[in-house]
Amino acid sequence: MPDRPKNVVILGSTGSIGESALKVARDIPDRMRVVGLAANRSAEKLAQQLAEWDVQEGCLADSTLLDDCRRQAPAGVNLRGGEDGLVELATLPEADMVLIAIVGTAGLRPALAAIEAGKDIAVASKEILVMAGEAVMTAAREKGVRVLPVDSEHNAIFQCLEGRNSSEVSRLILTASGGPFRKKPAAELAEVTVEQALNHPTWEMGPKITIDSATLFNKGLEMIEARWLFDVEMARVDVIVHPQSIVHSMVEFVDSSVLAQLSVTDMCFPIQYAVTWPERVPNQLPPLDFAELAKLEFEAPRWDDFPALRLAQRAGTEGGTLPAVMNAANEVAVAKFLEKSLRFPKIWETVEETMDAHAVVAHPKLEQILEADSWAREFAAGLLT
Ligand code: NDP
């Protein structure tokens, strides 16, 4: 056992993943100590967390609310604002690991800064690897730091691979719940409401990722994330629908054997494994009751009715700036859908149109990725006005 707990900074502590990470810290205090917390606009909640967890370093990305947060946070807490504040928190000298659980693309600069400062990163924010997988993994290799996957599917694959070489892998098989519209006829998708799309059958998550689960863009983003995390080309990344969300993903090896990772659906499992890896430690989480489960089902995804998967395959195969463009256009369209000013299928139609209009830059630098991201946001917003 290590002689002290791992010091972890949580970026996005007020969100669904952030709260699960705090639960993990409570569950395994000998292994995980929280040393920094960051949010965007939840000033009161961040102040409460800083007090409850006795954390001295905090950041609120929206600086206009910083005074509010300062008033409510315990005296003596070092609070900063803005993107620079996130970067400062991600590079705290006492941090061993930075958990990136910020929704959207705002986690990219802090993630790269953490790597540059020699910190391991635990990545929940899939946008980071989708936009800049090549740059992030190259920087991590150069610095000799770890990129530990927190997304349950990638954490499952990470557990199944246990360091095996990608040449031994014939397929990474990501499981997908299928979302709330798994059985909905294609003709009815145009009429689905925001409330129906937010009603995920198996996972409790933030609103953006829940809509992505309904369109299957979430699985598409995960395909690209897997491509970079595990260094396999898109042709070896597959998807299978598994409505119970108990098998979190699988690896098929070249000898046709398959390893799978299973657990109760709770993000505390992958978060804990990312923190304690390569060790496993006891916790308060419930084990699986196989007799109660009774059955695990699998079915092929509806590729034609949910075009997000093919768009992601295309973006991941073509690479360059295209995944960043896909991701940005999707964020714009999802935000509009959540505002109830867009029909559901318009999400993927907007993404496709934006991807078609983009001139891809191969092996982009960070600035080119960010440029493509801004371009796509503007273009997609233009399509929706
Ligand atoms: P939530 O919407 O629940 O939480 C998002 C968190 O990010 C909040 O703490 C929010 O702060 C913070 N945040 C948002 N924008 C910024 C910003 N610009 N700067 C700093 N902080 C910001 O999202 P989730 O927890 O569901 O998801 C987080 C990430 O993890 C996403 O990328 C998602 O795809 C991924 N993920 C989530 C899973 C889940 O089960 N929830 C599973 C696998 C991956 P505030 O409260 O102030 O808005």
What percent of the chain has pLDDT above 90? 92
Cβ–ligand 1 contact at 160 (below 6 Å): no
Take atom 39 of ligand 1 and give the residue whose Cα is closest.
205
Q: In the prediction, which pLDDT does 240 show?
A: 98
Q: What ligand 1 atom has the least distance to the C-alpha of 207? A: 2
How many whole angstroms separate alpha carbon 99 and alpha carbon 206?
Answer: 17
Tracing tokens 């809509």 back to the chain, one arrives at 211
Q: In the prediction, which pLDDT does 119 show?
A: 98
pTM over 0.75? The answer is yes
With cut-offs at 50, 70 and 90, classify the pLDDT of residue 163: confident
Q: To the nearest whole number, what is the mean pLDDT of the chain?
A: 96
Q: In the prediction, which pLDDT does 178 show?
A: 92
With cut-offs at 50, 70 and 90, classify the pLDDT of residue 200: confident
CATH 1.10.1740.10, the chain: domain bounds: 319-385
Answer yes or no: are the C-beta atoms of 50 and 24 closer than 8 Å: no
Helices (H), the chain: 16-27, 43-52, 66-72, 82-90, 108-116, 126-143, 152-161, 194-197, 207-215, 217-229, 268-276, 290-293, 308-318, 322-338, 346-357, 366-383
> How far is the centre of ligand 1, averaged over its atoms, from the C-alpha of 256 (Å)?
37
The fold for domain 319-385 equals Rna Polymerase Sigma Factor; Chain: A (1.10.1740)
End-to-end CA distance of the chain: 57
Take atom 17 of ligand 1 and give the residue whose Cα is closest.
40
Take atom 23 of ligand 1 and give the residue whose Cα is closest.
206
With cut-offs at 50, 70 and 90, classify the pLDDT of residue 289: very high
Assign domain 6-150 to its CATH superfamily.
NAD(P)-binding Rossmann-like Domain (3.40.50.720)
Answer yes or no: are the C-beta atoms of 212 and 330 closer than 8 Å: yes
Q: What ligand 1 atom has the least distance to the C-alpha of 221? A: 34
Q: In the prediction, which pLDDT does 333 show?
A: 97
CATH 3.40.50.720, the chain: domain bounds: 6-150
Cβ–ligand 1 contact at 14 (below 6 Å): yes
